Amino acid sequence: MAWLILVIAGLLETAWAGLLKTVAAKPAPGLVALTGALIVASMVALAWAMRTLPVGVAYPIWTGIGSVGAVAVGVLIYGEAISLTTVAGLVFLILGMVLLGLGGNH
C-alpha cells in the first residue's frame, strides 16, 4: 500500500509542477489555490508512504516521478522540445528509481 501511495504522491507532484508554468504565465486565484492544494496533497501522501518506506527510498522516488512527469508534461502539454540527451537523462532517472526501490531498506 505504501508503494501505491508513493506513486500517487509522485503523480500529484507532477500535476502541481505542471501547473506552475500556467500559474507563472497567468496567476489566476483558482489556479494558484489548486496548485497549493496539489502541493499539500502530494506532501501528505509522501509522508504517509514514509510511515513504511525509508526516507532514502521514498523521497528520491517521489522526486524522480515528479521530475520524469514534469518533463512529460512539458513535452506533451506545453510543446517543449526533447532531445536525445534529455531522454538519456530520463532513462537514468528511472533506472535509479528502480534500483532504489529494489535495494532499499523496506
pLDDT of residue 106: 53
* Rounded distance between C-alpha atoms, residue 28 and residue 89, angstroms: 33
Predicted pLDDT of residue 47: 98
3-state secondary structure of 59: helix
Matching residue, cell 532504489: 100
The span from the CA of 37 to the CA of 34, in Å, is: 5
pLDDT digits (tens, 9 = 90+) for 34-91: 999 999 999 999 999 999 999 999 999 999 999 999 999 999 999 999 999 999 999 9
104 pLDDT band, cuts 50/70/90, is low
Residue 43 is predicted with a pLDDT of 97
Asked if 71 and 86 count as a contact pair (C-beta separation under 8 A), the reply is yes
- Angle (CA) 77-89-60 rounded to 5° is 90
Q: What is the pLDDT of residue 29?
A: 95
- pLDDT band of residue 100 (cuts 50, 70, 90) is confident
